[in-house]
Amino acid sequence: MATKEQATDALVSVALRRALIGARVEVKLALHSSGCELQPEAEVTFPQGTSARQRNAALLLLAAQVELRTPAQDHWFVESEVLDGGNRGRIYLVLLGVGGPWPTHEEAERGLQVLHSALR
C-alpha cells in the first residue's frame, strides 16, 4: 500500500506531465539578480495560446513537485514567476546557505538534482 507521500507525489507527477504537454523546459544554474550567486531554476516556455490559468497551474504544479522532492535536510524556498508577456515562466530555488551566509556550489548542485527529479 502506498504512503500518503507516495500517493501525493504520483498525483502531482501525472498532473504535471499533462500540464507541460507541448512546453519546453530548461533546467539550469542562473545568475541571481544580485549577480553574486548561482540559482537553480527551471524555465518553461509554453506553447502559443496557453491561457494564463493553464500557465499558472503548470508552474504551481512544478513548484509543488519540487517541494515534494526536496529532502528534509535541504533549506531553500521554491518560488515561481511569469516572464515577459506570459509565454514563459520559471521556478527557482532561493538557496539559504547551509552553515554560512552564502549558498555553496554543492547546495546549488543538489537543487539542480531536485529540479531534474521533479521533471521525471
Question: Distance between CA 32 and CA 20 in Å, rounded?
Answer: 25
61 CB neighbour count, 10 Å cutoff: 22
Out of 3.30.70, 3.30.310, 1.10.287, 3.30.1490, select the CATH number for domain 4-118.
3.30.70
**DSSP code of residue 104:** -
Q: Which three cell numbers stand for residue 45?
A: 516556455
Round to whole Å and give the CA distance between 114 and 99: 20
The pLDDT tens digits for 50-94 are 999 999 999 999 999 999 999 998 889 999 999 988 899 999 999
The residue assigned the cell 499558472 is 56
Q: Mean pLDDT across the stretch 13-41?
A: 85
Segments making up each domain of the chain, as ranges = 4-118
